Structure 1
């Protein structure tokens, strides 16, 4: 509550209320009551319960001295609101109830100016007004508390998402480290075997030695391409890497079989030569196909899905098309966003949306760098 709002409302509302209810016995005393209640309301935020008790005592004193003719609790409305906002709803209800009981006793048994019907009407009206004020104030407190809790939850969720993103990036770099180890160790082992063969046959069979050296050179060239791709991804601190080891292109048929087991008809078509595809690109292809098929099984309501891979010297095109239901507007959830980021990390692009013949289509173009 604004610190000046409560005094201002009290200073203006008390004389107006007494005038409307016929309680303005003496204008000077009415102004005095409004003034002191406004002064107390100024301190209501700091000492809400004390202010409420003092306000009710002042009102009872002026009513008992017949200086004002109406009102037992409503002139202290600002104090009641302050008590509820401070978290003391029960105290406000008890204090208001006691003040109203005292008002019934005074008007009904001590002050015989008015009859019983007048007493019940005025005190009952004040009781309803007090209940409305307390209920509105409690609702406001509950709303503010709910908003605060929601803000804390959103902040906590954001913090957890940031921690999860950091964890994923750390896991991605561990995956790259594994890939680097596998590429280097495999390359050294294969090249070592071919060099030994070339060395042993150098004098007796020069042709075999040259063939072994060519194979070693080919393996070295592919390994350099794989290493360059991995290092490029690792160098980009914000780009997603290969989050976990993948089966690569050799696992596509097994992946298709798994989806067929879910009741879908899956066709896997490959055009071109896959041998020149580097390991990071092969991993990305596998993950794109895996996520696209997973989306088809979960969301599309499809019966058929076609996976088409086109290998070219400069790029690989991945096309996954089903006959299900494409959403009117595609939202980048975790799956599609993950595919898009994985492909973008390798310099490619991915689109997802309605297919040419209906259904949902995922299409990725990933460049292949030749070393």
Structure 2
């Protein structure tokens, strides 16, 4: 399985302690965004995780946690744009973010740090000439530390359209987009960057550009081979994404309405009040991010390679699981023997059942 962390929120920036606790304990839980009462548990043991894709705008506080990921294949999608506090209010000064980008690249290698100049927003105050100038300035600073830059034009999602209208963002035609991508792409080429477009239905191949695969099966296979894995896995296209998206299937551990960057163009946040309310539920020791499990209402399922299976909670609610062996917050290392079994799903189910029992006992107290 490929883990996405996360398209829905910035886990490295805001929830790094939670993620590493999940790594240490060997599993995480996440809600189905289309059916929030459906909760999945997924193994995070290295043998079950093909790769982790991090999405972030500021992983500075996450760098000291990379030591816990040595057994994993992973890479970063790192967004750096030329916008100010009016559009990206909680992003640190760009010079600081650039320095973090450089530090991360020096730690894990430039192949594993992909720069996103994304989204491009054209306004009267930020015409194409503005982006050409700013993009080149960033290329000068970042190109020695990455091999690839992914670009896209802003999407006028219903959740973001009001804010985009406030800054008079322009909804460009296909021909206008073609000119924008051509101009940005030509600059990137001068700096030996592979420039790719994300989910854009524009004939960019004519410009010598590529369509992006942000969750990239080919890159993951390459990185896994570098770590000594000999298998040649094929990863299926993610049909849950837009038609023009080139990503392969992944499991996203994030939750909408939790990103505290508060960017004007964000598709993952509905309102500031919702973000504040959800973040109040953050518990770095909980399997779920910024969410509480409801024993009665939530359906809990074990995520497997080709689907999932339901956990029967009735026995727990009726207190018929007294014979279940308790697993008391065992460390990642002490669980190695259990994980080494041929099928780790038995362990994962036991772990989830124990978590459900703890919730039940807490409610009763």
TM interval, short-chain normalised: under 0.3
Which is greater in Rg? Answer: 1
> TM-score, with normalisation over the residues of structure 1?
0.19
Q: Which has more strand, going by share of residues?
A: 2
Q: Which has more helix, going by share of residues?
A: 1
